[in-house]
Structures are given as C-alpha cells and as structure tokens.
Chain A
C-alpha cells in the first residue's frame, strides 16, 4: 500500500497487485485472529512452562527445564501417560476397524434403510461429551442398567463394580469412546467410498471375489489416505482425552483412569495451582501428538 502512495506516476494498482491485495485483505482477519488467539497463547504457555512460583508472581525456574525434569519423577503424571497410551493402543484400532466395517456394510447399494442405519450409527456424535459421559456413568453404576441386564440374563452371577475396579473402569472408558466416535470416523470412510467407482466392485464380483476380499483388496487400499487422516485425528483426540476421565470415572479408582489432560486440569484447578508445571505438561502432550502424527504419516503414506 505504501508503494502505491509513494510513487505518484503510477497511481492505480495493476490488476495483479489488486488481486493480491484483496487476497491479503481476506486472509488478514483470520490470520490475525489465529495469531492473537492461538499462536500468542502457545508462545506464552511455552514461556510459562519455564517458570515456577505463585500464579501471579511467576519467576524463571532454575534450571530452566526444572518443570520438565520434575515430570519424569512425578508418579501420577507417569500413571496418566500410561493410562492415555493404553486407551490409545486399544481403542483407536478397534474403533477404526469397526468404522471401516460399518462403512463398507452401509455402502452396499442393495441394503434397505441405509439412511436410517447411517443416522443411527452417526447419532452418538451429536451428543455432548459431558452428557454421554454422565449417562455412561449412570449405566455402569453398581445398581445401574448394565449390571441389571447382565444379571437378568445370567451372563454374570454377581454385580460388577465397574467404576471402582482399575481394569473395568478403563474398559468402560474405552467402550464409551468407541460408542461415541465410531460413527464419526465411519462418515469419513463412507464419503471416501462414494468416490470409489462402483463398477470396480462389480468387476471383482464377476471375477469371484467375496465380500471380505473386496474389503481387503479394494476398499482398504483405496481408503488408505483417509484412514491415515482418521488415525491421526483419533490419536490426537485420544491424547487430549479429558471429558470422559473427568465425568465418567473422575480419574478413579485411585488414579487408575486419569488422563494427561485431566491431570493438567487438576494441577491448575483442584490442587495448589501450579501454572508452570501445567504448561510444561501440555507441551509434552503437544510433542507426543506431533511425534505420533509424524510416525503415522511416515508409515501410512506410501505414495
């Protein structure tokens, strides 16, 4: 803009300059907002992670990486990392496999009431995280519906105290996550499947390929890029898992189901507030997400 004003000979901007200026004008507000609302707080949090002390009187810690050093000796933090990775390793593969299976079943053009089934599987995504966590909590209480049904059908002989058992409590969180997110991933696969030419399947059938072969030889290879995307998103989401841990199990029993984000929250808001340490832990999550995404891209992208 200064250019245009300072050169009196060329008062009007060229077409190209105009367009580029318009482009910047459109980009500027969003960019500005991202910088102010996202990058600046991130940078500020990075600085905070090197500080310690009372929240309103933070000072540089000595050594600077003190908060990060403490993390390695913090048993609760290590427990929360183990818990989160357990959820990740068990839940993400099951969920993505289920999503692919559901998607390919629902992609069958001969299936009646497809729309209804799609809606049913996607519907859990429309429920709020807190709401579904609370409902799962109610379902899985000692005298809740799950125990009643299982007892009624003679599947178990004695009620299970789901939420007060380290293994069952983790299982409940994983079941909840699968229920909540399978439909979400399925929609990605379904839309990707729309772009796979239907005649390929017809040709495969003529060649005598059964349903399983069609799935493993045609659908999954062609879905690879979108599977990669959903895997990265799910990994990212699971590492930041918060609502389920807070509302479903309250991190308990003990700290057996607490997630990293939940522990960060506790460090800030329920225990004696420690801003520096909480910021440091959130940066560790950021690094973990970045590393895992990089690995997945390396493994998954075979173009």
Chain B
C-alpha cells in the first residue's frame, strides 16, 4: 500500500513538475505548419532574432493546422499545454477567439498594427480588440499555361480584366482545341465558389452576423457559373488535395485560381519554368461591386496567454521589418500583408517561372484591391452546409433555391444552440 501511495505521489509530482517546466521564462515555443512556407519563414525570423539576442531560446514545432486547432479545443482553456505563439487560419480566427477568449492574448495597444493591410487585420479583430499579428496574404491569382493558351490562339492578355461569361467562351474554345480543362478543384471543398463570392465583396454572413445564403443573389450567380463549368468539363472536380495538385503537375489543366501560396507549388516544378503567366481572375458579370480580385487562405500569428507575452511580442517585432519580408520572399513566396514590405528589393525582382515578370509586386497590387469578407464564429458551419448544397446541386441536379434554403436552415439550426 505504501508503495502504491508513493508511486501515485511520484506520478502526481511528475505532472506538477512538467507543468512548471512549460512556464519557464526565456524560451519561446512556436507551432506552425508547412516546412516550405510558414516554418521556413519562422526559421528565418528566428535566425534574425538570434543575431541580436544570442541567448534567446526559440523552438519551432511542426504541427498541422487541424492538429493545432484540435489541441486548442482539447486543452479547453488550459494554456499550459499550448505554445507561446501559434499560427491561426484567418477564416478560423473569429471562431477560436469567440470560444476561447482566455487563451488568446489581447494585443490591442501592445503591438503596432498601423502598417498592416486593414482588410487583413480585420480577420483577427474581435469586438474592436486585436488578437493577431498578420502574416501572409491569400490574394488570389489566376495562373495560366501560356503554351496551351497559344495552342488555342489566346494570350494571357485575353484573360486579363475579363468577366466569367468571356472566361466560359474561352474555356469552351480551349477545351475544343486542346482537349484540356481550364480549372480543377476539390469536390465539396467550395474553394472556387468562395473565391468567386468574395470577389464581389459578398459573404456567407451579413454584417449583423445572420446567415446570408438563400437570399444571396451573388451566391446564386456564382453557383450557376460554377455548375456550368463543371457540367461542360471546363472545371474538373477531383476528390483529394493531392489529385488537385496532380492536375497542375501532370499538366491536365490550363490554369489554376487560388491563393498566391500556390505559387510555391508551381515554382517547385522545374520542367514548367517559363511556361506560366500570372493575371487577375474573371469578375462576376452581374453582381454588385464585382471586382477581379479575391482572397483564399492566409493566416495570422496568435500569442497565448499565461506565457512570457513580453518576450513573444519582442520577438514578433521581426514581422514589422522590411528586411525580413525581403528575406522570406524568395524562399517561401509568402506575400506580406505588411504594407512597407513592397519597397523591399525582392518584391520588384522578376521571376524566371513567369517569364521574368515582377509577379510579387503585381500580387501586392491585387491584394490592395481585394474586398474583405465576413467570417464570424460559424464560418465553417456555413461553408460545410454550402458544400453539401453544391454537391447536391451538381451530383443530383438539386434545385439551387431549395438547397440553399436547406443549407441556411442547417446553419441557423447550429447557431440556435
């Protein structure tokens, strides 16, 4: 019995000790994902910081976005199991801060956000308080294979500043002449639909937070264009992310339209060097406020409460340094949301993959013209319901009005809890 008691005591003490270790000062732990992108950027930030603070201890841990989100929810407000800094998807930011306000440090007045793009800062601003340090932009770019366009008798200028009707015409023509589809994407993931929707400043929610699905004229226009593209084989729906990347690397599609982070994938295909051109996306023909610009993805850094916040803030000052953004751009092609970064030398340089064009400067221009969207805590509930609706519309010929009404009911139902 005594042994058992002492064993239990020993176990209890080990746990307490571990807890104490996690709070240790002078060390920063960072959770983030993607070794070629976010992790790479953080490593460069760490090295720059270490030059001035050789004694600092900064540990970068690779964890997938889903794993980080699961860990935050599983910790349920107990920050001792969480790192000092973690990366949050912009679309998830509102959800996490609304549910766990005690986990995320309020950075209002503690971190100077004046030089960051206001649309980006809005993602991590909840009730007027700032909880995030903006990182990369998810500015959408349309990238085309010039060789295939040429085969069909088009140039990238023919696809610049156009609307979706013109895009459909060209798409049909290209398909007929080259046998290739224009675009590809994951079925049910609704990335393309969300990109098209945001390009006219419309969202799945209204300003007051109510659901905006069944009476959303822009959304109906988007779905109709999307369905036409899928039905006519201009857009190939695949099942997995890997298959989507495969359609680009196996050269089955002429184009891809998504967040500019996709450029790091395109630039990892040496055999396609010089074959790509970059431009803006088509705009919606009828919707109010339609533009040729949109956003998909992008994330911001959050600092966790109950840790050494001052140290973390001091480290994160790197993200207000033009040299830092110039250093990470060639390595990661992460587009800054820190406005002064555009004057850095890396942004004006041309890219071999895009025929020497200064694509990064172009993307920054696009970013400045991108309408913002409303996310809120229930963003993924709405996105999920929309995905189901679109699957039903495409696969089973469901009626758009009925399906959107069902989707709106589903989201309202969840919000009614």
Interface residues of A (CB under 8 A from B): 25, 28-29, 52, 54-56, 70, 73-76, 137, 141-142, 161, 163-166, 250, 252-255, 266, 268-274, 276-277
Hey, which chain A residues are within 8 Å of B224, CB to CB?
none
- CB-based contact A252/B73 at 8 Å: no
B76 close to A (CB within 8 Å): yes
Interface string of B377-417 (1 = CB under 8 A from A): 11011001001100110011000000000100110011011
Contacts known (A56-B102, A75-B410); A272 close to B95, Cβ less than 8 A? yes
Hey, which chain B residues are within 8 Å of A276, CB to CB?
417
Query: Would B99 and A55 count as touching, CB distance under 8 A?
Result: yes
The CA-CA distance from A185 to B69 in the complex, in Å, is: 37
Report B245 CB to chain A, min CB distance, Å.
Answer: 13
What's the Cα separation between A1 and B102 when bound, in Å? 47
CB distance from B336 to the nearest CB of A (A): 29
Q: Are A254 and B239 in contact (CB under 8 A)?
A: no
* The one of A250, A253, A255, A272 that contacts B377, using a Cβ cutoff of 8 Å: A272
One of B102, B243, B416 near A141 (C-beta < 8 A): B243
Q: When the two chains form the complex, which single residue of B239, B380, B395, B417 contacts A142, counting CB atoms closer than 8 Å?
A: B239
Cα distance A254–B410 in the bound complex, in angstroms? 13
Shortest B95–chain A CB gap in Å is: 6
How far does the alpha carbon of A272 sit from the alpha carbon of B238 in the complex, in Å? Answer: 27
* Shortest CB distance B71–A (Å): 10
A-B contact pairs, 24 of them (CB 8 A): A56-B77, A56-B99, A70-B417, A73-B413, A75-B406, A75-B409, A137-B240, A141-B240, A142-B239, A163-B239, A164-B187, A164-B239, A166-B396, A252-B187, A253-B188, A254-B188, A254-B391, A254-B395, A269-B69, A269-B70, A270-B384, A272-B95, A272-B380, A274-B417
Distance in Å: Cβ of A6 to nearest Cβ of chain B = 17
CB < 8 Å neighbour of A271 from B70, B188, B414: B414
B residues bordering A, Cβ < 8 Å?
1, 4, 66, 69-70, 73, 76-77, 95, 98-100, 102, 187-188, 237-240, 243, 377-378, 380-381, 384, 387-388, 391-392, 395-396, 406, 409-410, 413-414, 416-417
Q: Are A76 and B410 in contact (CB under 8 A)?
A: yes
* A28 CB → nearest B CB, Å: 8
User: Which residues does chain A contribute within 8 Å of B69, judged by CB atoms?
Assistant: 269-270
A268 in contact with B381 (CB, 8 Å):
no
Q: Please list the 3 inter-chain residue pairs (A to B) with the smallest Cβ-Cβ separation, ordered nearest first.
A: A56-B77, A254-B391, A254-B388
Assuming the contacts A56-B102, A268-B73, asked whether A165 and B395 have C-beta atoms less than 8 A apart, the reply is yes
Give the docked Cα–Cα distance between A54 and B76 (Å). Answer: 10
Chain B residue at minimum C-beta to C-beta distance from A165: B395
Q: Do A253 and B187 contact each other (CB < 8 Å), given the known contacts A70-B417, A142-B238, A269-B69?
A: yes
**Given A252-B187, A253-B395, residue A272 in contact with residue B243 (CB < 8 A):** no
**Which single member of B70, B100, B243, B413 contacts A74 (CB below 8 Å)?**
B413
With A55-B76, A166-B396, A272-B414 known, 11 other A-B pairs at CB within 8 A are: A54-B98, A54-B99, A56-B99, A56-B100, A141-B240, A165-B395, A250-B188, A254-B188, A254-B388, A269-B70, A272-B99
CA distance A270 to B387 in the complex (A): 14
Nearest residue, chain A, Cβ from B100: A56
Q: Which residues of A contact B100 (CB under 8 A)?
A: 55-56
- Give every chain A residue within 8 A of B406 (Cβ-Cβ): 75
Q: In the docked arrangement, what's the CA distance between A76 and B66, Å? A: 22
Contact residue among B76, B95, B392, B416 (Cβ-Cβ distance under 8 Å from A254): B392
Most buried by A among B69, B77, B99, B406: B99
Least Cβ–Cβ distance between B4 and chain A, in angstroms: 7
B4 touches A29 (CB 8 A): yes
A254:B387 contact, CB within 8 angstroms: yes
In the assembled complex, which residues on chain A have CB atoms less than 8 Å from the CB atom of B4? 28-29
Q: For residue A277, which residues in chain B have a CB less than 8 angstroms away from its CB? A: 417
Contact present for B378 and A272 (CB under 8 Å):
yes
Minimum CB–CB distance for A118 against chain B, Å: 35
- A36 smallest CB distance to B (angstroms): 11
Verify A271–B387 contact, CB threshold 8 A.
no
> How far is B396's CA from A253's CA once the two chains are assembled, in angstroms?
11
